[in-house]
Structure 1
Amino acid sequence: MQNNQINYVELPAKDLEANKAFFSRCFGWQFEDYGADYTAFSNAGLDGGFFRANFTSRPQTGAALVVLYSDHLETTLERVEQCGGIIEQPIFEFPGGRRFHFLDPCGNEWAVWSKVKAEG
Structure 2
Amino acid sequence: MSGQNGRIDNIEFNVTDIERSKAFYGAVFGWSFTEYGPTYTEFSDGRLKGGFTTGEAVRPGGPLVILHADDLEDTQRRVEAAGAFISRQIFAFPGGRRFHFIDPDGYELAVWSAE
TM interval, short-chain normalised = 0.7 to 0.9
Give the corresponding residue for 1:104: 103
Query: Is 1:4 matched with 2:5?
Result: yes
Give the corresponding residue for 2:36: 34
Q: Distance in 2 between matches of 1:80 and 1:100?
A: 11
Displacement after TM superposition at 1:95 (Å): 1.3
Displacement after TM superposition at 1:3 (Å): 5.2
> TM-score w.r.t. structure 2 length?
0.87
Shift in CA distance, 34/79, structure 1 to aligned 2, threshold 3 Å: same
Q: Is the 8 A contact 1:28 1:43 kept in 2?
A: yes
> TM-score w.r.t. structure 1 length?
0.83
Displacement after TM superposition at 1:108 (Å): 1.2
Give the corresponding residue for 1:81: 80
Query: Is 1:55 matched with 2:54?
Result: no
Q: Percent identity?
A: 47
Displacement after TM superposition at 1:4 (Å): 3.0
Displacement after TM superposition at 1:106 (Å): 1.2
What is the 5 A alignment of 1:12-23? 12-23=14-25
- Equivalenced residue count is 112
Q: Distance in 2 between matches of 1:3 and 1:79?
A: 31
Please list every run of 5 or more consecutive structure 2 residues that lacks an aligned counterpart in the other structure: none
Please list every run of 5 or more consecutive structure 1 residues that lacks an aligned counterpart in the other structure: none
